[in-house]
Amino acid sequence: MREYLLTLCVTAAVTYLLTGPVRKFAIVAGAMPEIRARDVHREPTPRLGGIAMFFGLCAGLLVADHLTNLSEVFEKSNEPRALLSGAALIWLIGVLDDKFEIDALIKLGGQMIAAGVMVMQGLTILWLPIPGVGSVALTQWQGTLLTVALVVITINAVNFVDGLDGLASGMVCIAACAFFLYAYRIWYSYGVEAAAPATLFAAILMGMCIGFLPHNMHPARIFMGDSGSMLIGLVLAAGAISITGQVDPDALKLFVGSEKAAVHQTVPVYIPLLLPLTIIAVPTADLVLAIVRRTWRGQSPFAADRGHLHHRLLEIGHSHSRAVLIMYFWSALIAFGALAYSVNSASMWIVLGVVILSAVGLALLLLPRFTPRAPRWAEHFVPPRYRRSTAVADPEPEPAQAAESEEERAPVAAGVASVNGATALGRRNAGTSR
């Protein structure tokens, strides 16, 4: 565990320290696109945050390669090299898109090529565990198609949800944390060495997100852009492919009695959505809804709009920060609920707890104007708007409301300016006559 924590800290530190210089570089390079109709932010903000995240990934892999226990992952498996190759390719495509706005179909082709590069180096799904049946071996073409599909779906799910400050990086960090705990349990509790690469990928992914979040929280000073969102989506998909498609349930049946029971132990990771997407169920749901919505309107599935889940939260009255926290809540509930169920699927307390927390989440959705107040002993650790001693401020205006208020204030400001100008002119004339 100490080596994983060291790798995580190094990745986070490199990402955090490089984000500031990368922001300056993005400003100089002109990677600050104009505000679009679907954007929530009000000022042009530099992109290319994925550059810092990519170098954080490289630093994490480099440090892990020189540690005593983690170096065995590089000696016994080619998956870290496959991940680095695919990540470098998808990162380059993202950097070009952040600067030049390349076509969506070109990006899709690049995502498929990056997935194919990882498959060629051994990071692929070899078999698919099915509850009640056991392991189903896949042919080379079946494994390749399934791997490419999983990578493309995960990348675009993360990319679609990247619409608010700190949203994508925070949700992926939550998913990576739950995924790390699951993979670590398979690796050290059951002694399955095939789970070691996925555990390492999850630790590095957490470091990338943690290092970037301080710069990306509302109001964000820099965006990760496609160079970052596609990168963390690919890393998350690589970990899911590694542990789901390559950890043989035959190795687990020694601990749980039979292969079918071993498969049942790992159900929450890959069965609820037919692929290991429970860890990013919220972004995946947003992706599916976006495709259906745009196709129904006769638009391209890649045509951007303001119909995503985070946009709807803003429309019903939630502030920017509260919308992000609500998305965090649902991501954590699904990811850690699946994790808890995988540990003890026979406990009804887990199901009851998930139901109660879901009810709490629904209540939060229906109370957009509710402002939580921290206890008095914790007031020094929270922002001023959550302190009881501070006067209740007006809720944060929505972009549309802010625009309307600015339009309403413009004539008043113009009138005040004209009156002031006339007064000054009268004073100058009076001085001249005197």
How far apart, in Å, are the Cα atoms of 118 and each of 79, 88, 141, 193, 225? 8, 11, 14, 20, 23
- Tell me how far apart the 2 most distant CA atoms of the chain are, in Å: 107
DSSP secondary structure of 192-233:
-GGGHHHHHHHHHHHHHHHHHHHHHSSSPS---HHHHHHHHH
Where in 290-349 does DSSP place strands (E)? Answer: none
Which pLDDT does position 168 carry in this prediction?
A: 86
Nearest in space to 308 (alpha carbons), one of 167, 209, 175, 213: 167
Q: Which helix (H) or strand (E) segment is 342 a member of?
A: helix 320-343
Contact 183, 202 (CB under 8 A): yes
Contact 244, 342 (CB under 8 A): no
Token pair 């006769």 is found at 298
DSSP secondary structure of 218-278:
SSPS---HHHHHHHHHHHHHHHHHHHHHHS-HHHHHHHHSSHHHHHHHTHHHHSTTSSS-G
Which pLDDT does position 396 carry in this prediction?
A: 45
Which pLDDT does position 271 carry in this prediction?
A: 39
Contact 244, 123 (CB under 8 A): no
pTM of the shown model: 0.74
Q: Using CA atoms, how far apart are residues 62 and 24, in angstroms rounded to an integer?
A: 26
Contact 284, 157 (CB under 8 A): yes
Q: Using CA atoms, how far apart are residues 385 and 212, in angstroms rounded to an integer?
A: 25
Which pLDDT does position 404 carry in this prediction?
A: 41
| Per-residue pLDDT tens listing for the chain (434 residues) | 789 999 999 999 999 999 999 999 999 988 776 665 555 555 778 888 999 999 999 999 999 999 988 988 898 889 999 999 999 999 999 999 988 888 888 999 999 999 999 999 989 888 776 656 666 778 889 889 989 998 998 898 888 777 778 888 888 998 888 888 888 887 777 677 778 898 999 999 999 999 999 998 878 889 898 999 999 999 999 988 888 766 655 555 544 455 455 555 554 444 333 444 565 666 667 777 777 877 777 776 666 666 666 666 766 666 767 778 888 888 888 878 777 776 666 567 777 887 788 787 777 666 665 555 667 777 776 656 556 655 444 444 444 444 444 444 444 444 444 444 444 444 444 444 33
